[in-house]
Structure 1
Amino acid sequence: MEIAKNAALVVVDVQKGFDETGFWGPRNNPGADGNIAALIDTWQATGRPVVFVRHDSVEPRSPLRPGHEGNGFKDYVEQRRGKGAGHELLVTKSVNSAFYGTPDLDAWLRAEGVSQIVLTGIQTNLCVETTARMGGNLGYDVVVAYDATHTFDLSGPFGWRGSADELGRASAVSLHGDGFARVVLTKEVVDAAG
């Protein structure tokens, strides 16, 4: 695997509100936070650009709504912001895709000459997947560090319910199998970027 010298790490919605398990329910991938931190550390140590994405929910009961403590980044992310040698960007959004946020992520990446993005964050099958699909459609070389993402159990139509593990795997298969992104493990990315 090759990670470009200017590949951007896009850290999607790693916010305190996702720790409110009473709201979200069971999650998968308990090691995700450690892997997210490792990716940020690698990007900052190598001077690559990092994009921090924050979801500002418009839902009044959401733990991610502005003004609620859960809207803030998790402590380990907040402690790392502004510490790297590379460029850094904060994108805020109220929908699934980081490409529909403020400022315009696509415009910023193109101005920086970035053609490869590495995605990490929450939730695997929602905001991470949507951002990966859009990135692929926009022509970026998209890499998803699967074990640096996590999601939650979810109810769907017809009484169906998917576990976090099932939803995460389905997302990985769809992204990788359909060519939107290469779905890999954090160690592969860190080794290639170091």
Structure 2
Amino acid sequence: MIDFAHAVLLPIDMQQGFDAPGTPRRWNRAVDANGLALLAAWRAAGRPIVHVRHDSVEPGSVFAPGTPGNRHRPGFEPLPGEPLVTKSVNSAFIGTDLDVRLRRLGAKHVVAFGMVTDMCVSTTIRTGANMGWDMILVPDACDCFDLPDGQGGTIRAEDIQAAHVATLRYEFCRLMSVAELTEERRAA
């Protein structure tokens, strides 16, 4: 259960670069639909949303400002009045004013989802929890990629997702599904 009057939605790095040619296989084909459902529920309720975008400083990155990959995925663009926090590291709290923005909004709960679970989403959840925020992860609105295991094999995206979600739930956040959040939001 969360107090929706004090919950802020935090879409993390919902950017087009994750669809660039040559990116490894992703597991969650419903990530966009699920994320858009959360945005729609928050907007319908008039609750605050703080968008996060990765502005890479790495030469040649698909996430460099001004490149097509830096753009938000269709439907994830901030609407007027919805702030955008830009970051150049994994955590949305490091080197940004996210903490101050959340405090000014009177937030108690930070509901996070996005790309990719094992990188920027996980790092943001961990940092937020360490800073004292009640972090809530929405796993079915997250996605990640197959990764090389360093020994010639591949770790499947589904396995990476499962391990990271379990680790985060164990110590850093609560878990809620899109259905739970949208149903609970309607009942609030």
TM-score, length of structure 1 as denominator length: 0.90
Equivalent AA in structure 2 for residue 28 of structure 1: W
1:101 is displaced (CA, Å) by 4.2
Check whether the contact 1:3–1:192 (CA below 8 A) recurs between aligned residues: no
Check whether the contact 1:37–1:76 (CA below 8 A) recurs between aligned residues: yes
Distance 1:159 1:100 in 2: 33
Distance 1:139 1:157 in 2: 35
1:60 is displaced (CA, Å) by 1.9
Post-superposition Cα deviations, 1:14-73, rounded to whole Å, max 9, x if no partner, equal 001111141x21001110100000000111111111011110112222211112111010
1:110 is displaced (CA, Å) by 1.0
Check whether the contact 1:144–1:182 (CA below 8 A) recurs between aligned residues: yes
**1:105 paired to 2:98:** yes
Aligned structure 1 segments of 4 or more residues deviating by more than 6 angstroms: none
Distance 2:37 2:151 in 1: 40
Question: Which residue of 2 is the match for residue 4 of structure 1?
Answer: 4
Question: Which residue of 2 is the match for residue 191 of structure 1?
Answer: 183
Equivalent AA in structure 1 for residue 66 of structure 2: G
1:88 is displaced (CA, Å) by 2.2
Q: Secondary structure of 2:163's partner?
A: helix
Check whether the contact 1:3–1:189 (CA below 8 A) recurs between aligned residues: no
With over 3 angstroms needed to count, the CA separation of the structure-2 counterparts of 1:48 and 1:94, relative to structure 1, is same
Q: Secondary structure of 1:37's partner?
A: helix
Distance 1:36 1:130 in 2: 19
Alignment of 1:85-104 (within 5 A): 88-102=82-96, 104=97
Distance 1:97 1:160 in 2: 28
Post-superposition Cα deviations, 1:89-131, rounded to whole Å, max 9, x if no partner, equal 20000100000143x1001111221110100110011111111
TM-score, length of structure 2 as denominator length: 0.93
Question: Which residue of 1 is the match for residue 79 of structure 2?
Answer: 82
1:158 is displaced (CA, Å) by 4.2
Q: Which ranges of structure 2 fall in alignment gaps of 5 or more residues?
A: none
Figure out how many residues of one structure are paired with residues of the other and give that number.
186
Equivalent AA in structure 1 for residue 38 of structure 2: L
With over 3 angstroms needed to count, the CA separation of the structure-2 counterparts of 1:101 and 1:42, relative to structure 1, is farther
Q: CA RMSD in A?
A: 1.5
Distance 1:137 1:160 in 2: 34
Q: Which ranges of structure 1 fall in alignment gaps of 5 or more residues?
A: none
Give the alignment partner of residue 168 of structure 2, picking from 175, 180, 193: 175
Question: Which residue of 2 is the match for residue 165 of structure 1?
Answer: 158
Check whether the contact 2:147–2:155 (CA below 8 A) recurs between aligned residues: yes
Alignment of 1:95-174 (within 5 A): 95-102=89-96, 104-159=97-152, 161-174=154-167
Among all aligned residue pairs of Structure 1 and Structure 2, give the percentage whose two residues are the same amino acid: 42
Question: Which residue of 1 is the match for residue 44 of structure 2?
Answer: 45
